[in-house]
């Protein structure tokens, strides 16, 4: 009999000394439905950065920004495929942090888990402020900080209530974003073909007639990769949420396999329409490329329409960011790398302590954004600048190691495999390292890289110190089942 791929990964040496609690005490409710997971997977790569931040990238590289989006998208697709291979074999709430535990050592899972949670906690402060700014424009009588507070409270209550309420909110947020992009794409194709009244077919004028496809040279395109690569971060959320779905393995496979068309259609497709319809160097494109395109279509209230869409994206990011940070803190807690109280589960299957811990720090970051936006808050934001690349690098290294530990029969039985292993895995690793070197070379990103490395180095140092003798800090008995085993047994008992 061939060993299952799940057992092949789970049979790796268990985390030594992890603070395990009884399986029933840490069982999360599997109440996320397939439609929830589908939209969470889609929403993970559609953020406010696409609707607003893409303007700066277009100004930097011109139409050649399409190459930058394609290159960054390729790296993300490869990383998601590697993560999907591990997650389909062993779905876990801790996702890549739990896999790093097995592949690289307890220090690695500790470090990358805390870095990832920190990233999303910082995002809470950024997105709450961005959303509050939009609502404040609509209702200026109420101070902006009040709106930021209300948005944070609303999404906190959603996440504390139940995982199903999180899934429902994310489903509708994502549905609005997807519908908006689909309508944008359809109208864009109609306009490009010359079928839209009052809009002349642009042909190739905007793509090649204003300095060529690479008006600022190939170097600008390479710089553009660094600008756009971070807008793809979040695709991995679906593998974390899969642990609370009714069919984790199927959910992971679907999310990973859909990554390719999501990036091709939502990012590359919509940006292609923008640079085809509009001059890349126009001020309106720099300010908001999607508003400029909507105005070209002759649709009234383009600015308000985009405000609604961006606010939806902000709320989606707040919702998923709080969920993701709390689940990573929960996973760290079950492994003895965070306060044990954060592993406590409410009667509705929600790690409320972990949610509230994420929220408290999130509220602090929101406050700092108003009290000291150009000093303390900016410093905190810069510490998270390169975390996406660190996470992707750890995912690639973990997949490389865990696959090589497998026997040939177990590897053959994997339900989802990395393409052309190990060649594309190494290609992804080298590409991520090249992006890190690029951050070091480009002056605008050098400080952010330095602060991110400082934070990562601090956490790695703590992790190495904690596990320097091969024992967990807690000294808990190793005879209790690991998190992955408990989830596996629970899932099998349901089946």
Structure confidence by residue, pLDDT tens digits, 364-390: 888 888 888 888 888 888 888 899 999
More confident residue, 231 or 393: 393
Beta carbons within 8 Å of 1's beta carbon, 6+ residues apart: none
Q: How confident is the model over 436-471, as pLDDT tens digits?
A: 999 998 888 899 999 999 999 999 999 999 998 654
Q: Is the pLDDT of residue 494 over 60?
A: no
| pLDDT category of residue 29 using cuts at 50, 70 and 90 | confident
List the one residue out of 14, 171, 3 whose CA is nearest residue 92: 14
pTM confidence score:
0.86
3-state secondary structure of 261: helix
pLDDT at 197 over 80: yes
* Burial call 403-418: b when 16+ CB within 10 Å, e when fewer: beebeeebbebbebbb
Cα(449)–Cα(459) distance, rounded to whole angstroms?
A: 15
Element (H, E) at 461: helix 443-466
- Mean pLDDT across the chain, nearest whole number? 82
Categorize the per-residue pLDDT at 1 as very low, low, confident or very high, splitting at 50, 70 and 90: very low
Q: Is the pLDDT of residue 104 over 80?
A: yes
Least confident of 13-17, 71-75, 214-218, 276-280: 13-17
Domains belonging to the chain, first-starting first, are 34-407+415-465 (1.20.1740.10)
Helix (H, G, I), strand (E, B) or coil at 245: strand
- pLDDT in the model for residue 79: 93
What is the SS3 assignment for 32? strand
- Report helix, strand or coil for 474: coil
Instruction: Please name the residue that has the structure tokens 């349901």.
Output: 494
Q: For 288, how many CA atoms within 13 A lie in the half-sphere containing its CB? A: 17
Give DSSP secondary structure letters for 289-338.
HHHHHHHHTT-S-HHHHHHHHHHHHHHHHHHHHHHHHHHHHHHHHHTTSS
Closest CA to 385 of 444, 427, 463: 444
Q: What is the CA radius of gyration of the chain?
A: 22
Flag whether pLDDT at 409 surpasses 90: no
Please tell me which of 91-105, 274-288, 289-303, 391-405 the model is most confident about, judged by mean pLDDT: 391-405
The sign of the torsion formed by the CA atoms of 274, 277, 283, 288 equals: negative
Name the more confident of 25 and 359: 359
Residue 429 has pLDDT above 50, yes or no: yes
Better-scored residue on pLDDT, 92 or 319: 319
Q: Which of 82-86, 171-175, 422-426, 479-483 has the highest mean pLDDT?
A: 422-426
C-alpha to C-alpha distance for 365 and 376, rounded to whole angstroms: 9
Position with higher pLDDT, 287 vs 97: 97
Reference 319, options 104, 44, 1; nearest CA is 44
Q: What pLDDT, on the 0 to 100 scale, is given for residue 43?
A: 66
Does the pLDDT of residue 490 top 70, yes or no?
no
Predicted confidence at residue 18, as pLDDT, reads 42
Which residues, other chains included, contact 407 with Cβ-Cβ below 8 Å and sequence gap of 6+?
3, 8
CB 10 within 8 A of CB 466: no
The C-alpha atoms of residue 447 and residue 440 are separated, in whole angstroms, by 8
Report whether pLDDT(16) > 60: no
Buried residues in 38-47 as b, exposed as e (16+ CB within 10 A): bbbbbbbbbb
Structure confidence at residue 427 (pLDDT): 97
Between CA 108 and CA 395 the distance in angstroms is 11
Distance CA 70, CA 491 (A): 38
Burial class of residue 494 in the structure, from the number of CB atoms within 10 Å of its CB (0-12 exposed, 13-18 middle, 19+ buried): exposed
The confidence band for 472, taking pLDDT boundaries of 50, 70 and 90, is: very low
Mean pLDDT of 41-49: 68
Question: Which alpha helices (DSSP H) does 193-217 contain, by range?
Answer: 205-208
pLDDT of residue 318: 86
Structural tokens at position 147: 């709106």
For residue 276, the model assigns a pLDDT of 94
Least Cα distance to 425 among 390, 393, 391, 386 occurs for 393
């Amino acid at each position: 009999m061939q060993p299952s791929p799940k057992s092949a990964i789970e049979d790796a040496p268990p985390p030594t000394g992890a603070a395990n609690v009884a399986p029933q005490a840490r069982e999360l409710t599997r109440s996320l439905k397939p439609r929830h997971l589908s939209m969470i997977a889609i929403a993970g790569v559609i953020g406010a950065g696409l609707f607003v931040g893409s303007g700066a990238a277009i100004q930097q590289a011109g139409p050649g920004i399409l190459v930058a989006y394609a290159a960054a998208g390729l790296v993300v697709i490869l990383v998601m495929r590697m993560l999907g291979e591990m997650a389909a074999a062993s779905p876990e709430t801790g996702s890549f942090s739990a896999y790093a535990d097995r592949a690289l050592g307890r220090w690695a899972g500790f470090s990358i888990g805390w870095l990832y949670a920190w990233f999303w906690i910082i995002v809470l402060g950024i997105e709450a402020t961005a959303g509050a700014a939009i609502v404040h424009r609509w209702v200026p009588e109420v101070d902006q900080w009040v709106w930021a507070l209300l948005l944070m409270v609303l999404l906190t209550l959603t996440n504390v209530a139940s995982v199903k309420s999180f899934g429902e909110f994310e489903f509708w947020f994502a549905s609005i974003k997807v519908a908006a992009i689909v309508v944008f794409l359809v109208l864009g194709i109609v306009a490009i073909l010359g079928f839209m009244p009052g809009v002349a077919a642009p042909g190739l004028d905007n793509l090649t007639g204003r300095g060529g496809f690479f008006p600022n040279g190939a170097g600008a395109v390479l710089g553009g990769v660094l600008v756009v690569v971070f807008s793809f971060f979040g695709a991995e959320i679906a593998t974390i949420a899969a642990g609370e779905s009714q069919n984790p393995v199927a959910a992971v496979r679907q999310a990973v396999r859909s990554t390719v068309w999501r990036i091709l259609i939502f990012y590359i497709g919509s940006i292609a329409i923008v640079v085809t319809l509009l001059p890349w160097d126009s001020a309106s494109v720099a300010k908001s490329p999607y508003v400029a395109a909507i105005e070209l279509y002759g649709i009234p209230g383009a600015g308000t329409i985009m405000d609604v869409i961006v606010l939806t994206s902000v709320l989606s990011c707040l919702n998923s960011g709080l969920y993701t940070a709390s689940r990573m803190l929960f996973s760290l807690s079950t492994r003895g790398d965070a306060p044990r109280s954060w592993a406590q589960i409410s009667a509705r299957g929600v790690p409320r302590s972990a949610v509230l811990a994420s929220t408290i720090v999130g509220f602090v970051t929101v406050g700092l954004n108003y009290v000291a936006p150009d000093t303390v808050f900016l410093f905190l934001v810069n510490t998270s600048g390169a975390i996406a690349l660190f996470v992707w690098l750890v995912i690639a290294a973990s997949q490389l190691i865990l696959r090589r530990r497998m026997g040939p029969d177990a590897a053959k039985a994997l339900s989802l495999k990395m393409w052309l292993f190990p060649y594309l895995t190494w290609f992804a690793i080298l590409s991520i390292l090249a992006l890190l070197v690029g951050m070091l070379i480009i002056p605008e990103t050098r400080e952010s890289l330095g602060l991110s490395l400082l934070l990562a180095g601090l956490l790695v140092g703590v992790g190495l110190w904690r596990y320097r003798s091969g024992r967990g800090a807690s000294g808990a008995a190793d005879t209790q089942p690991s998190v992955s085993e408990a989830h596996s047994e629970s899932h099998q008992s349901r089946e």
